[in-house]
Structure 1
Amino acid sequence: MSSHRRPFRLLVLSAAPALVALAGCAPGDSEARVEPPPAPPAEVAKLCAALHEELPRSVAGLARTTTEPASDLTAAWGGSAIVLRCGIPKPPEMADPKQEGVEVNGVGWLLQKAPDGGFRFVTGSRLAYTEVRVDKEHATDAGLLVDLSAAVAKAVPVGISSY
C-alpha cells in the first residue's frame, strides 16, 4: 500500500460532537499575524483561493479574524487561537505510517501534538495541503475540524499533491 494513500491511522469523527464542543465560545483578537507558506504552484494557489472563499465565519465558536499580511493562503479565528495555512509543502511526516490521524466528514487530517499543548492538523490525500494550528485552550475541541472539513471537501479535490 502506498504511504500516499494511507499515511496514518484514522479515527472517524461525526458532526454530532461539534454541537457540544461549540458551547465554550470566546471572542478573539481582531487581527492575527500569519505567515503565508512559500509561494505554492499556481494550481495549488487557485485551490487555496477557492478554499479561502468557502471557509466559515466561525470555528469552535470563535469569529474569523483578519490576517496580516492578507492572503488567500491564510485564515484565523479567535485572533491566533486557530490558524489555517493552505498550500504548504508536503510534510515529511505524511510518509510515516505510524503517525496519528483523524477523518472528519470525508477529509483525512494528520494529527500532531505541539510542544505547547496545542495541535497541528494537516490534510492528506488532497490536491493542496492545508495546515491548521490550534492553541492549547482550544485543542480539546474535537468539533473544530467539522466546519473546516466541509470547506476543504468542497474546495480542494481528493488526490495526491505533487507539491
Structure 2
Amino acid sequence: MDVRATGILRRGDDELVVAELITKGSDDDMPPNEAKLLLLRSGEWSLKRAPIIHRDDGGGKGAELSAWETDMVVPVGDRRLCWVDLHRGIMLCNPFDESPRLQYVSLPVEPPKSFDDGRRDSPATKRSVCAAVTTTGGGHADAREIILLLT
C-alpha cells in the first residue's frame, strides 16, 4: 500500500473504511477516466474501479490524471476522502458507497515553475490544501459545500 495515497475514514461509532487510490501502475488497460480503489470495509478487502467525474472545464484531463501523484489524503467530514495532488488537483470520494465515484477538481492556480524540475519536496515548491466542510440541516455535506483553501 502507498502510504501517501491511503486514507482512513470513520463514520459513526462502528463504521470504518481504509481506502487507497490507485491511478496508474501495471494495469495498462485502465482508461484515463477511471481509477481503482483498494478498500477495507466491514473487515473485507475489495478492489473497485471508480469512474472519474470532472467537475471543471480544465483541458488536458487525461494527461493530468495519467501523471497523478497523491501527496496527501484528507478526510472531509464523515462521508468523504479527499486525495490531493498538489500539482494537479483533488479527487473526492465517498468510500462507503457500493459503487464509488471520484470527483476530480483541478487546482485553480498554476503551480510554481520550479514544480516542473522534479523536486516535489523542495520548500520553494510547497503548496498546501486545507479542506473544511459545511453541513446542511440534516448534518450531511454535499460536494458543493466543501471549502478548499490553497496556499
- TM-score, normalization: structure 2? 0.29
Structure having the larger proportion of residues in strand: 2
Give TM-score scaled by structure 1 length.
Answer: 0.28
Q: Which has the higher helix share?
A: 1
Larger radius of gyration: 2
